[in-house]
Chains A and B, each alone.
Chain A
Amino acid sequence: MAFLRRYAASPAAVIGLVLLAVVLAMAASADLLFPRNPLALAGRPLQWPLANPRFWLGTDTMGRDIAAQLFHGARISLMIAGLATAIALAVGVAIGAVAGFYGGLADDVLMRVTEAFQIVPGFLLLLVLVAVFGSTLTTVTIAIGIVSWPATARLTRAEFLSLRQRDFVAACRGLGMGDVRLILAEILPNALPPVVVYAGVVMAAAILSESALAFLNLSDPNVPSWGNLIGAGRSVLRTQWYVSAIPGLAILTTVLAVSLVGQGLNDALNPRLRRR
């Protein structure tokens, strides 16, 4: 409970939580409010927001309802980002834990691999993966996860390296505890909090990456993604700029919300630094 109180003490963190709740609500209510296929033709193309009471956010170049795409897009974006983050965390924590705990050769090899992934620019690797494996929803999600794991691996490794030196680990060894139990039951619960907080950063980056891919028409074209919408609005940027502007605001809000919640979690978990 003290944790919740500490979290609530920061107005930015609370705002972030509220915004996140709004976006989640959008995703959850998409089917309810817009039951028809959002990518189906709905009306005359390029109507301005609030011009037609049926389309309060207007329509795009193909006459599709922007509001419907926005709400359904929330679901897509959150789903892709969430799954990709989960993949990145799972792989990253596993690799980081092994490298940090065992050190030596395992550490060297795993760190070379991690470094390899970090030297190749993430977005370029994403392009390569999309070029090789195609642009379906599944491949894009997995690809983003693959590109995002190095940072969590480094973080986990750093935590394990420092925790491994602590006396309570030595004490457990002295009691006769084996390696696997040490890693999973003793060290991991202490190492996870900063990693989980970092998940906010990973998720924010995942949303931005996916929307960038979609903007370049390299993501799945059959889903109502926010990035797809922005890309579709490029051709009418001079006059109907709202087609690109509105989904951009949606991305901005979501990433902001995720970042603020992540920062709020970090501050709540480290009360010593919270005075800043």
Chain B
Amino acid sequence: MRVARLALRRLAASLPTMLVILVGLFLLLQLAPGDTVDALIAQIGGGDPAMIAELRRFYGLDATVPVQLGRYLWRLVQLDLGHSAIYGKPVASVIVERLPATLLLMASSLALALAAGTALGIVAAQRVNGWPDTLISTLGLIFYATPSFWIGLMGIVVFAIHLGWLPPGGFEEIGSGLTGWARAADIALHLLMPVATLSLVFMAVFLRVMRAAMLEVTTLDFVRTARAKGLRPAAITIRHVLRNALLPVVTLAGLQAGTMLGGSVVVEAVFALPGLGRLAYESVVQRDLNMLLGIVFVSALLVIAVNFLVDLAYARLDPRIGAG
């Protein structure tokens, strides 16, 4: 109950932030050198002034800025993200088509990064300054420093081109007609490298934070109390250190969700995945600003949703939050 109330309070607090984001995006849009109509005209190769004026009126681009802002916000509340000139479909429907791939990619990468990162961080902290620690920390640092698209490319070179174990890109075998478990397995095979690529960087971050948190918590007073009570080292680690060390990692997971979404742009581009990230990239290239803003809006919603879940998890872990 306390947990739910707290999370709802945080959710409500993010509404003004969302407003800031939307207004900011809208104003940014106004600064763009061209608008939807210009892109459309360019696509069809030119048009006469009368038609341009008509198109402007059709898209509502002839009204004043405050009016446009009002209409824009009103439409967004109804989840109407506008119309894509390039795809000829409502922005919302295009985004919905591309959402599953990105969600799958992100969820798997976040899960893998968290699981592997915390596990390795614990191992490194248990053997501080020994060779496992040095090895894990060094590898972590290297993965953190390597650009994800480079890892992806090199992965393709090694595993797809030279060894032929994994497909070099795409979401699944098009036209193969697979269904059920076979289809799931096929998708899993295609997503193996992209997920590994995306999660490596974040795994390195979680690893470092978990290791530092474990070492920090071990110096705290209540761990000394536990030792004075005669607990075995394993019991001390599991029952006292671990839970307390997880707190900063959980917080970090929320903060990194947004960064991961941004990272998916590059990974989806490298592996040719039909996701939101690649859609964003294409929108930039095709100057489909409506689509781009729609993607940013949906991304913000996704990040807020992830943060909500993280807040719930944190409140479950720490009884001090939201108390009194």
Residues of A at under 8 Å CB distance from B?
112-113, 115-116, 118-134, 204, 208, 211-212, 215-216, 218, 227, 230, 234, 237-238, 241, 244-245, 248, 251-253, 255-256, 259-260, 276
Interface pair A128/B25, CB less than 8 Å apart: yes
Question: Is B16 close to A, CB under 8 A?
Answer: yes
Enumerate B16-36 residues with CB–CB distance to A below 8 Å: 16-18, 20-21, 24-25, 28-29, 31-33
Pick from B141, B157, B255: contact of A118, CB under 8 Å = B255
Chain B hits for A215, CB < 8 A: 147, 149, 266
19 contacts between A and B (CB under 8 A): A112-B17, A118-B258, A119-B303, A120-B299, A121-B259, A121-B303, A123-B265, A124-B265, A128-B25, A128-B28, A130-B284, A230-B149, A237-B161, A241-B157, A248-B153, A252-B150, A253-B145, A255-B145, A255-B146
Chain A hits for B145, CB < 8 A: 204, 251-253, 255-256, 259
Question: Is B215 close to A, CB under 8 A?
Answer: yes
Interface pair A131/B287, CB less than 8 Å apart: yes
Docked complex Cα distance between A127 and B293 (Å): 10
Task: List 4 extra interface pairs beyond A119-B258, A127-B284, A132-B29, CB under 8 A.
Answer: A116-B20, A120-B299, A121-B261, A124-B299
Chain A residue with minimal CB distance to B289? A131
Docked complex Cα distance between A234 and B152 (Å): 11
Assign chain B's interface to a size class.
35 or more
Interface pair A127/B20, CB less than 8 Å apart: no
Docked complex Cα distance between A123 and B14 (Å): 21
Chain A hits for B307, CB < 8 A: 119
Question: Is B120 close to A, CB under 8 A?
Answer: no
Interface pair B153/A237, CB less than 8 Å apart: yes
Enumerate B163-186 residues with CB–CB distance to A below 8 Å: none
Interface pair B292/A120, CB less than 8 Å apart: no
Interface pair A120/B21, CB less than 8 Å apart: yes
Does more than half of chain B's interface fall in helix, strand or loop, or is it mixed? helix
Chain B hits for A123, CB < 8 A: 259, 262-263, 265-266
Interface pair B31/A131, CB less than 8 Å apart: no
Pick from A121, A216, A241: contact of B281, CB under 8 Å = A216
Pick from A112, A120, A260: contact of B141, CB under 8 Å = A260
Question: Is B280 close to A, CB under 8 A?
Answer: yes
Interface pair A127/B21, CB less than 8 Å apart: no
Chain B residue with minimal CB distance to A122? B262
B214 to chain A, nearest CB (A): 10
Interface pair A212/B17, CB less than 8 Å apart: no
Chain B hits for A255, CB < 8 A: 144-147
Chain A residue with minimal CB distance to B157? A241
Interface pair A237/B292, CB less than 8 Å apart: no
Docked complex Cα distance between A218 and B146 (Å): 20
Chain A hits for B129, CB < 8 A: 276
Docked complex Cα distance between A128 and B293 (Å): 8
Interface pair A116/B284, CB less than 8 Å apart: no
Docked complex Cα distance between A211 and B283 (Å): 20
Q: Are A276 and B157 also in contact (CB < 8 A) when A123-B265, A124-B280, A215-B149 are?
A: no
Interface pair B289/A208, CB less than 8 Å apart: no
Chain B hits for A227, CB < 8 A: 147
Q: Are A133 and B31 also in contact (CB < 8 A) when A248-B147, A252-B147 are?
A: yes
Chain A hits for B142, CB < 8 A: 252, 256
A46 to chain B, nearest CB (A): 16
Interface pair A252/B149, CB less than 8 Å apart: no
Docked complex Cα distance between A215 and B304 (Å): 29
Interface pair A251/B147, CB less than 8 Å apart: yes
Chain A hits for B21, CB < 8 A: 116, 119-120
Name the residue among A118, A121, A251, A255 with the largest chain B CB count within 10 angstroms: A121
Pick from A126, A212, A238: contact of B147, CB under 8 Å = A212
Docked complex Cα distance between A259 and B289 (Å): 36
B148 to chain A, nearest CB (A): 8
Docked complex Cα distance between A244 and B284 (Å): 24
Chain B hits for A116, CB < 8 A: 17-18, 20-21, 24
| A-contact bits for B266-305, CB 8 A (1 contact / 0 none) | 1001000000000011011001010011011001100110
Question: Is B154 close to A, CB under 8 A?
Answer: yes
Q: Are A112 and B266 also in contact (CB < 8 A) when A128-B25, A237-B153, A244-B150 are?
A: no
Docked complex Cα distance between A259 and B293 (Å): 33
Interface pair A127/B29, CB less than 8 Å apart: no
Pick from B269, B287, B295: contact of A216, CB under 8 Å = B269
Docked complex Cα distance between A127 and B261 (Å): 13
Question: Is B96 close to A, CB under 8 A?
Answer: no
Pick from B32, B263, B283, B300: contact of A119, CB under 8 Å = B300
Q: Are A122 and B147 also in contact (CB < 8 A) when A127-B280, A276-B128 are?
A: no
Chain A hits for B33, CB < 8 A: 132, 134
Interface pair A248/B154, CB less than 8 Å apart: yes
Docked complex Cα distance between A244 and B300 (Å): 33
